[in-house]
Amino acid sequence: MRVLITGGAGFIGSHLAEKLAARGDQIVVVDDFNAFYSPDVKRENWKQVQAAARKHQAPAPSLHKLDICNAKQLEAKLDGGSFDQIVHLAARAGVRQSIHQPELYVRVNVMGTLNLLEWAHKHGVKKFIFASSSSVYGLNEKIPFSENDLIGKTISPYASTKLAAEQLCSNYSHLHGIECICLRFFTVYGPRQRPDLAIHKFARQIMRGEPVHQYGDGTTRRDYTYIDDTIDGVLAAMKYSKPFDIFNLGESETVELRYLIAQLEQILGRKAQVEILPQQAGDVPVTYADIAKARALLGYSPQTKIQDGLRKFADWFLARKKWDEH
């Protein structure tokens, strides 16, 4: 299969690219290597993808360093190359940053997605997988969150861009017959996790002996999903056929922030200097996925419990010895 992965040098994208390359798929990656976090980390991720392809004697994956907002560049560099599927992961991620740079988030996450859907339409791509987010549920009061819930209470520009992009996917499915599957990821973690996300950030602060900023009283809850489970869900969605659909890909278990910090202290063998700060604007109190639909239609079945996943994350994190990196 020939697959275009946008954001393929990032955390989730590089894991997916590695997996697809290992099974012999022809991978083309688009990534702009922006400085949201160190481009060196993304280059390191890309090397892992290349190594996986070599190890499995798969076709060499190719990389286009370009910005998805630039439709002309997309057209010129991708050169119509016939793809079976596009997995669109490139985005400005991060709720808090989106409050400070809403225009950038709208440009990349909404306009960028529109550019790719247009490109897919023009070049006859039949299937488009979109990385959405649990944040679209916003202040949804009913838990666990179900794909059938009526949502309209997003509380950050990031969440709103993801909701808007889901709607664009629905439009292109309806108008142009592109199969669009939106996957709502719930806080993904594991080796190569983005350095701005809680688990990675806390681990770095604990190892450096810096204060660990705990926003609120520590009772906020997140549904953490181990990367391998998320990737299994993406692979299942790539095989699933429907004009348009939406799936939650979570673990369907919630973990309190204070418990997460305590677990990290135990696994890293160091005490955290917890500094309690006010709750951050844009942060929701809870994320909790109802995964009944993904189980039934995708055969999705998350396997990694938080304690095991944190240990695997810590093994990678400690072996890497790069705590000074952002």
Query: Shortest CA distance to 196 belongs to which of 91, 94, 273?
Result: 94
The least CB distance from residue 93 to ligand NAD, in Å, is 4
Q: How many positions of this chain bind ligand NAD (CB under 6 A)?
A: 29
Taking the CA atoms of 84, 89, 90 and 91 in sequence, report the sign of the dihedral they define: positive
CB 315 within 8 A of CB 251: no
User: Under the criterion CB under 6 A, does residue 67 sit at the interface with ligand NAD?
Assistant: yes
CA 176 to chain centroid: 26
Please state at what angle helix 306-320 crosses helix 257-268, rounded to 10 degrees: 50
User: Under the criterion CB under 6 A, does residue 12 sit at the interface with ligand NAD?
Assistant: yes
Dump strand ranges (E) for the chain. 2-6, 26-31, 62-65, 85-88, 127-133, 179-185, 188-189, 211-215, 221-222, 225-226, 244-249, 255-256, 273-277
User: Under the criterion CB under 6 A, does residue 90 sit at the interface with ligand NAD?
Assistant: yes
Q: Is 288 a catalytic residue?
A: no
Which of these ranges, 66-74, 214-222, 235-243, 272-280, lies near ligand NAD under the rule CB under 6 A? Answer: 66-74
β-strands 255-256, 221-222: how paired? antiparallel
Dump strand ranges (E) for 71-153. 85-88, 127-133
CB 185 within 8 A of CB 248: no
User: Under the criterion CB under 6 A, does residue 110 sit at the interface with ligand NAD?
Assistant: no
3-class state of residue 177 by DSSP: coil
Q: Which of residues 131-160 bind ligand NAD (CB under 6 A)?
A: 131, 133
Residue closer to ligand NAD by CB (options 211, 316) is 316
Write down the catalytic residue from 105, 137, 158, 288.
Answer: 158
Query: Shortest CA distance to 298 belongs to which of 225, 247, 231?
Result: 247
Among 91, 125, 169, 294, binds ligand NAD (CB under 6 A): 91
Among 4, 19, 49, 112, binds ligand NAD (CB under 6 A): 112
Task: Give the nearest residue (CB) to ligand NAD.
Answer: 10
User: Under the criterion CB under 6 A, does residue 34 sit at the interface with ligand NAD?
Assistant: yes
Among 3, 9, 17, 289, binds ligand NAD (CB under 6 A): 9
User: Under the criterion CB under 6 A, does residue 108 sit at the interface with ligand NAD?
Assistant: yes
DSSP 106: I
Among 5, 63, 93, 291, binds ligand NAD (CB under 6 A): 93
User: Under the criterion CB under 6 A, does residue 10 sit at the interface with ligand NAD?
Assistant: yes
CA pair distance 155, 282, nearest whole angstrom: 5
The least CB distance from residue 184 to ligand NAD, in Å, is 7
Interface ranges with ligand NAD (CB under 6 A): 7, 9-13, 30-34, 36, 42, 67-69, 89-93, 108, 112, 131, 133, 185, 187-188, 194
Residues carrying an active site annotation? 158
